[in-house]
Amino acid sequence: MPKIPVKLVEWNEIVEWSWGLARKIEESNYVPDVIIAIARGGYVPARLLCDFLGVENLISIQSQHWTEAAKKGERAIIKFEYVINLENARALLIDDIIDTGESVILARDYILNTWKPKELRIAALQWISPVAKIKPDYYYMEVKEWIWFQYPWTRLEDVTQFIKRIIEANYNEKKKSTWTLDEIVREFEEWYGIQVDNRYFNSAVNILVKKGIIKKINNELIYLLGKA
Ligand code: ADE
């Protein structure tokens, strides 16, 4: 059984969902002058919406809440604050997902107070309605049970964090500290119920080695805290 519910999202689904989202925006007759991507998750959907809605102006704001995949981080903050004048513009703020809603609320409030657009509406590919503190004006999919969407743009980051968690949990529960790559792949598929290309596992392991979390000896991977 997967330890957390994960849905692997493919690139073609992103195109379909963004297309569907664009149609909803169009049907509402809202014509944004500028699209604002919430970095980093909103970048790809924002770029696709520019194409599908014929919008030339694309800017971004970085509002960050989740520091690790599928794990709650600290509160949201705006990174790299800057001021622009949007007084004459209708704006559309977009993120990939509205989960707790904290990052989008923070970005919205910052934009309304500092950039002062004529109008600001919010869009997301996914809206996790039972946990979100805000309902976006537009969403492609309402998610009624919390799930981690493994988007194509966080594949390596997520795989790395998921592997790290597997290694840590096995050490804490069973004092297991030595792994083969095959064992990691099997445990990963069991925990998360998804399959990813092998190159992600190889790169993720290399990242964990670089961070000093594991070391590689011949074909074995050794959890370093486990050895301490
Ligand atoms: N970022 C915040 N919540 C998320 C979720 N449930 N899935 C993917 N990315 C997220």
Q: 142 CA to middle of ligand 1, Å? A: 13
Residues 47 and 120 in one domain: yes
In a domain, 82, yes or no: yes
Asked if the model's pLDDT at residue 66 lies above 90, the reply is no
Task: Please write down the HEC assignment for all residues of the chain.
Answer: CCCCCEEECCHHHHHHHHHHHHHHHHHCCCCCCEEEEEECCCHHHHHHHHHHHCCCEEEEEEEECCCECCECCCCCEEECCCCCCCCCCEEEEEEEEECCCHHHHHHHHHHHHHHCCCEEEEEEEEEECCCCCCCCCEEEEEECCCCEEECHHHHHHHHHHHHHHHHHHHHHHHCCCEECHHHHHHHHHHHHCCCCCHHHHHHHHHHHHHCCCEEEECCEEEEHHHHC
Verify whether ligand 1 is closer than 6 Å to residue 132 (CB atom). Answer: no
In a domain, 76, yes or no: yes
In a domain, 170, yes or no: yes
Residues 106 and 159 in one domain: no
In a domain, 81, yes or no: yes
In a domain, 164, yes or no: yes
If one residue of 148, 151, 158 were mutated to test the ligand 1 pocket, choosing by the most ligand atoms within 8 A of its CB, it would be: 148
Residues 96 and 25 in one domain: yes
Asked if the model's pLDDT at residue 64 lies above 80, the reply is no
Residues 121 and 56 in one domain: yes
Tens-digit pLDDT profile for residues 2-21: 688 999 999 999 999 999 99
Ligand 1 atom 9 nearest Cα: 149
Q: 103 CA to middle of ligand 1, Å? A: 11
Residues 13 and 99 in one domain: yes
Verify whether ligand 1 is closer than 6 Å to residue 148 (CB atom). Answer: yes
Predicted local confidence at residue 227, as pLDDT: 59
Q: 47 CA to middle of ligand 1, Å? A: 19
Number of structural domains the chain divides into: 2
In a domain, 1, yes or no: no
Query: What CATH code is carried by the domain that includes residue 187?
Result: 1.10.10.10
Residues 105 and 17 in one domain: yes
Verify whether ligand 1 is closer than 6 Å to residue 127 (CB atom). Answer: no
Asked if the model's pLDDT at residue 67 lies above 70, the reply is no
The residue range of the domain holding 180 is: 154-223
Ligand 1 atom 2 nearest Cα: 99
Please report, rounded to a whole number, the percentage of residues in the chain having pLDDT higher than 90. 90
Residues 111 and 207 in one domain: no
